[in-house]
Structures are given as C-alpha cells and as structure tokens.
Structure 1
C-alpha cells in the first residue's frame, strides 16, 4: 500500500469502527447514509417546500442524484487512460470517495434551503457575534467531524481524510485560513470573494468554521504537495460539477411538472435574444438595466459572464447554448403542459437522461486550471449550456414574486424560532428542562471556544477586529453556536411545529422527534 493511499484512508481518531465492508471509502458512505442528519434531508427544501407531495426534489433526492452523477463522472475519468497519470499526480479519484462526499455535501443545509442559510448567517453574525456566521457547506463539515455522534468517539463520523477533503468545495474558512486568504487573489476562486453587499465580512462561501480548522488541516494535509491550499481536490471538483449538473437539470423538471415553468415567457426571452442579439449587444448598461423587453435579462447574463468568467466565456458558444436550450427545453419539453401521461413522463426521461449524459461526457481534467475552477471542469460548450439552464431557473422560478412572498414568511418563522430558543436558553429557571440535545451542543461549543480563546484567540476576531470579552464573551459565542446548530438540524416541518409549541399555539405534545 502506497504512503499516499495510507494517508488518504487515515481516519480522524484512527479507531475505525465496526462496518459492513472492509473498503474504508464504502464504509464512509455507509456511515453517512446511516446518519440521522442524512435522513432529515427528506424534509428539507431544495427550492420550495414539497409539502409531502413527492413531486419536487428535496435535499435527500437531490443528494442521491448528485451521488449518482458524481460516481458516473469519476468512473468515466478513471477509466480514461488519457487522464490516469494526471489524476494520480493530483491525488487520485476514487468513485467511492466521490459518492460518499456527494451524499454528505448537503448535510448542513438548514430548514428552507438557501433562504434558511441566509437567515441563520445573519442571525449568527449580528445576534450572536459569531465571526464566521453560518454557511451550509461549513455546517456539513461540522456535522461529519463534530456534531454527529454516530462515530466511534461520539464526535463526528470519523471519516477518512480523502472523503473529508472531498466534501470541501471551498477549502478555506470565512476570514483567516489559509494565509494568504484566497479572497485576496487577483482572480479569486469561485465563492472566495466577499459579497458586494457585505464588504469586510469575508468570503461568501467557505467549507469550514474556525472550530473545525484542525479537521480541515488534517484532511487537506494529504494533498499539501499536490494542489494549492485553496484548490479543490480532484474528488471535490468532481462532486462540485455533479452538484451543478443535477441542479441545472432536475430543478427545471420540478417546476415544469407543477406548472410554474411556462413555455411562453421562456420562449420569448430566449427567442427574442436570438433574433436581436446584435441589437442587444449595442445597448449600454443603463439602457439594458432599465428595460423589461424579452431578451434583455439574457443579455445581462452574457455580460456578467464576460466580467466574471472571461477565462472560458465565448459569444458564439453562448449563442449555441441558447439555441440548444431553446430547442430541447422550450420547444420540446415545455411546449406541452405536464399532464401526468405516459408521454409526458417519457419526455421528462428523454430530457433528463439526454442532458445528464451530454454534460457528464463533457467533463475533463486539466493540469493547470484557472483559479476560478477546479482541476475537473466542463468543456466550454457544456459550461455555457449549464449557465443558460441555470439562468432559466433563476429568471423564471427564483425571481417570481409569489416565491418571494412564501420565502419571506419562512424567513420570519426561522428568525422567530432562533430568538425563542435563545430566550429559552437564557432562562435560568428552565436550565434543567432544556432539550438535552441543545444542552449538549452548548457544552460542546463551550469546550471548542474555550480552547480557541486560549490557543488561537485571533480565530475569534471578527471582521470588525473585535473578539469576545473574557469568559462571559466566550460563553455567549458558545450559546450562539449551539442555538444555530440546533435550529439548522431541523427539517422544515420540525421548525414550524417547534415554533408553534414554543409560541403556545398548539396543544400537540412537543416531544415529536424535534431533536436529532
């Protein structure tokens, strides 16, 4: 067994455990699937709440499809002799590692999907003063290394270094690691830049909190001499591409199935841009921003891609992608309303399988990628097609006013729930009657923040340059992290029902499996 392989299979505490397979990476996959955090994803929103209908993807079905696509990409790449030597030089690409990472990648998604992620980040930073706030990817890493209790040491799942590294889509912390931080690169990696609306707050995406920094370092140590510290491993890059492919295809299917994605407006947007692309290109930015003519939103996308991804964007490839999406999504799939018939289901099957196979076939490995990409990336044609598919989803689903109305209600619910949990935690008369899980999370976070305050006090300094004041400040951080961990571990329905109980608006006995 090579030294690299031994380091890739190294576990966090070295104890292993009793598993159904001798293959360490398959054992990791089995541990993730057996986790209650994985099971709860069936009740967590992908884009909008499925309400038990079975018609829409949730985070569980999405994760399963990412795992399926990721494994297909990994198997294809490792079977290609043109890629074999380069993949080995970069640290390897085991299909079992990719599958395990894909199954784990959304474990940290809170109730109500990305909307819940934004709400918890705002509360974590502004209400509780947590310097690294909340991020779904970092929460996933915290679960597999710290807060899940199914591992042999009752701290995380004790996964191999390769699988932990493969879950790190954004292998940096929000503010401090690595040094220099990737947000300061001339062309930062995707997700590393600060959000325009939040200067000084650190990276918009990151995969580890400071509490898990040692776990990040240990997992990535295997790859220290193989890829830069801010660069994804090959297996993480495969998982990331699989996530993009699943998102681009399956969410569009969902919203056509329930009648939200309509043929006429999508057809008008894409068709008008194709017909008048030269005219749109001549408009200045102010004219483009102020108009609502079909085609203008797509032109704005083309210009954003030039500004953000000049390393790959090409106008002719963009036009070809618009043409293909219009022909295969608009003129084929969307041309007939979904009616549940055999023909309609077959149309879904053709669209899904055809596009998945096409995009998977376009994935390849490069030795020297741009900083905006990992070593594994889509070919230029497929990359442009994914951008157009994601545009359709954003423009005609995510920006709908009725979805915004629904999400504002969810944001208020989650905010009120966090405030109620914080008040309960601060009630000294109720200290002995806290949910046991919440109490345990406070104790866990207190140990973590005590250690950081003593050994790495700079890690607790936020974007304002201020850290916690004394033991009381450290305890306040621990309580805040515990409340965020607790709220993030709930499914959509659990969050709503728990708030009903805390608000006194229900007679239902509250111990209905609220706690993981």
Structure 2
C-alpha cells in the first residue's frame, strides 16, 4: 500500500513590490489556516463583507435613496470609488487591494442623511470633540465593526493591516492638530482622542500630517467619482440640464459656488475657463431627455470624464517619479491645477442645483432636527433604546463624555430609514415626516 502524501502547504503570494513586512502587520496578531490569499486581499474581503458597508446601501449620497431608483447611495458610490481607485492605484504601482480596501472604507463612518447628518452630529458632539465622518471610519475599522477581539476582551474591529488602515486615513491628524489650508484651519480630521493608540500604531514611521500614496489615490478617486456621478444623478433626477449653463445667471451661480465651497482662492475666470474646457471636450451632453440614446450619451460622458481626470493625474505623477512602483511614502500623487479646477467645477454643478436648492432646505432642517432629537433622547434614557452592542458600550463607559460618544456611535450607524423609524418610535409619528 502506497504511503499517503502529506499535503503541500499553500504559500501566500509574495508582497507587492514597494511593501514591507511591517506594512502587513496587524494591531492584533493573527494566524491564518488558509494562506492562499495575501494579507491585503484579506483586508479587502473584510471590508467588503462588513455590516457597515452593507448599511451604506440605505444612506444618502446626494439625493435620498428613497426618492429615485436610479440615484446612487453611499454604497454604490463606494463601489464606484473602489473601481476608479483600484485601477488608478494599480497603474501607479500601489497594491490594488490596499487601495480597494481604503476606497470601500472611506465612507463607512458617514451617518444618516449624508453631510447634512454629519453637521448635525458634529454640533451635538461639540463638547466631546465633535463628529467627523473620517474619524468615525477609523473608529469603525478598529473598534465598532465586529470581527476580531483582543485577549483582554476589548474589540479590535476588522483588524486590518497597517498599510490598509493607513490608506483609509484621509486626514491623518486630530481635531486639535488640524492644519491651516489656504489661510483657514480645516474642520476635517481623522481620529478621535480615544482612538489615538491604534492610529499611532498605523501611522508608525509616517511623516506628520501626510497621507500615504494609497490614501491620496483613494481621495482623488472619491473626488472624481462624486464630481461626475452626482451631476449624472442630478440630471437623471430632473434637477437640471447642462444647457442651463448657457444662461449667464446660472453660470455665474455655478462659478460662485465652486469658488465658495471648493476653490476659495481661485479666480472666477479660471473656473469659467475650466467649465468651457469641459463643454468643448466633445462628450458634454447639453440635454438628456430620458431616452436610451440620451442616457447612453450621459453615461459615456461620465466615463470619459473619469478617464480624463485619472489620466491627467497618472501622467503628471509619472512625469516626476518615473516608472517605478509608487507606494506608501515613496511619492506623492500629482494632480495638475487645471484638473483640480475641472473636478471642482463638476462638484459646483451639483452644489448649485441640488445641495443649495431652496426646495431642499426644509428637508435638510428636518433631518438635522431628527438627529438632534435622537441624541438628546438616547442620552437621557441610558441603554434602554440602544442596540445590544452599544448598550454594552454604554454600561462599560466610565464617564458622561464616554456615554455621549456611545450615543453618537449608535446614531451614526443608523441608515436614513432606521433613523426616521427610531425617531418615530421615540418621539411620535407626527413629528418625523420628511
């Protein structure tokens, strides 16, 4: 009888060029029986299978997901960002799974009702350091999302590798360390004070306040994605048509909001020139009537603009750094000023015709009221209405500051629909209609 051969251990694929062993270390050491995946592939899978990512399917991107079957949610936006970021990162030499994991993660911390909800929770959490979607993302990845538990029983979140966790840090500083940009201190930050230990571990050896290459790719992919897709969604939803820009008043408003929201130190003529370049690109769709032909042209426009912006950044970056793999802190992403302005003016279009629309303002006010009411009520009623995991956090909290943070964590995890439903349950149905 022939002896049974011992199974050959499957060796994991080698690290992508430009990465080191410390890059694939985890905050809590793990042993894996299945070694056919790289550590970075495992990171991407953990984010993809997370409950936090699934919840994004019912969270507002720009237009509320219950108003139209076509519009993007935070989930579909994140998937599109990941597609753009993965390809752009790969062409620059980044590990595609590190960039993909960062892109899928980048909006996990956003609360119900999009940036409007973020503003409401920031005001409600002012006394405990505020609320910021990017800091909340880090908190989810390292604490709130259930996957790995430390030996002392404390949660470790998804326990991503150092490279992937660092890549998800778009704003690598606390609120107190927020840098001054264009003469004004930014309100964006990436970590709360009580999450500093894991943040400092992830940032070990990183230059102060500098995002790694993979995070810069993720950030640009996010900008590109929502700049073109929000315009597409708004056109399909009937909010405006690009031919409206022929009207001097509409055009002036777009230029003004682009400067006010995105390019405060730009010149109006510079913004107008960027808009003119896009109009002359050959892919601009002045009028979309809802026909399949018009929808195909609109989809082609978004695709061509994504390619335009990505190619511009890739070529400019390669022109400086050459053909070698550009990873971690070996390089910085270069985006030409003209491309920055073109992306900003696309954002300005959605801002002008959707986010600042007078029709939307009562809805925005009601959304903020709902979240503010929820913070007040949940904080006053202890762990009574909290989900089990958050109720346990409440009971373990050793101060009122910590308990308020638990309430903020709970509310931030809600979807648009579940926030409205909880408000109805606690405050009465006559007060929750949007």
Equivalent residue number for residue 407 of structure 2: 483
Match of 1:413 in 2: 370
CA distance in 2, matches of 1:244, 1:306: 11
Q: Corresponding residue for 2:253?
A: 297
User: Is the 8 Å Cα contact of residues 32 and 103 (structure 1) preserved in structure 2?
Assistant: yes
Which SS does the other structure have where 2:334 is aligned?
strand
CA distance in 2, matches of 1:112, 1:304: 22
Shift in Å, 1:414: 1.3
Determine if contact 2:259/2:268 at 8 Å carries over to the other structure. no
* C-alpha distance in 1 between matches for 2:133 and 2:305: 28
* Partner residue, 2:74: 59
CA distance in 2 between counterparts of 1:306 and 1:34 reads 34
**CA RMSD, 1 decimal:** 2.8
8 Å CA contact retained: 1:174, 1:204: yes
Aligned residues: 398
- Equivalence map 1:214-229=2 (5 Å): 214-221=197-204, 223-224=205-206, 228-229=207-208
CA distance in 2, matches of 1:413, 1:496: 7
Q: CA deviation at 1:327?
A: 4.1
Could you tell me how far 1:439 is from its partner in structure 2?
1.4
Q: Quick one: which of 300, 321, 325 aligns to 2:278?
A: 325
Partner of 1:453: none
Residues 248-257 or 46-55, more deviating: 46-55
1:211 equivalent to 2:194? Answer yes
- Change beyond 3 A, Cα 1:102–1:233: same
The question of whether the paired residues in 1 share the 8 Å contact of 2:390 and 2:410 is answered with yes
Can you give the 5+ residue segments of structure 2 that lack an aligned partner in the other structure? 1-14, 322-330
**Partner SS state of residue 158, structure 2:** coil
* Pair 1:75 & 2:106 matched: no
Partners of 2:166 and 2:423 in 1: CA distance: 36
Partner residue of 2:295? Answer: 345
Could you tell me which residue of structure 1 aligns to residue 229 of structure 2?
250
1:441 to 385, 393, 409: 393
- Per the alignment, residue 12 of structure 2 pairs with none
Gap change, CA 1:6 and 1:259, over 3 Å in 2: same
Q: Tell me, what secondary structure is at the counterpart of 1:377?
A: coil
Structure 2 counterpart of 1:503, from 414, 419, 427: 427
Deviation at 1:70, TM superposition (A): 0.3
1:258 deviates by: 1.1
Q: How far off is 1:48 after superposition?
A: 2.2
Q: Deviations over 1:371-416 (max 9, x none)?
A: xxx9213223322211211111111221101111211111111111
Structure 1 residue runs without a partner (length 5+): 79-92, 176-180, 195-202, 273-292, 368-373, 447-473, 507-516
Alignment correspondent of 1:110? 111
> Do 2:257 and 2:351's aligned partners in 1 also have CA atoms closer than 8 Å?
no
**Offset at 1:345?**
2.3
Q: How far 1:307 sits from its partner (Å)? A: 7.7
Aligned counterparts of 1:245 and 1:501: Cα–Cα separation in 2? 39
> In structure 2, what is the Cα distance between the partners aligned to 1:502 and 1:304?
38
CA distance in structure 1 between the partners assigned to 2:255 and 2:422 by the alignment: 45
Q: CA deviation at 1:324?
A: 2.5
Residue 240 (structure 1) aligned with residue 164 (structure 2): no
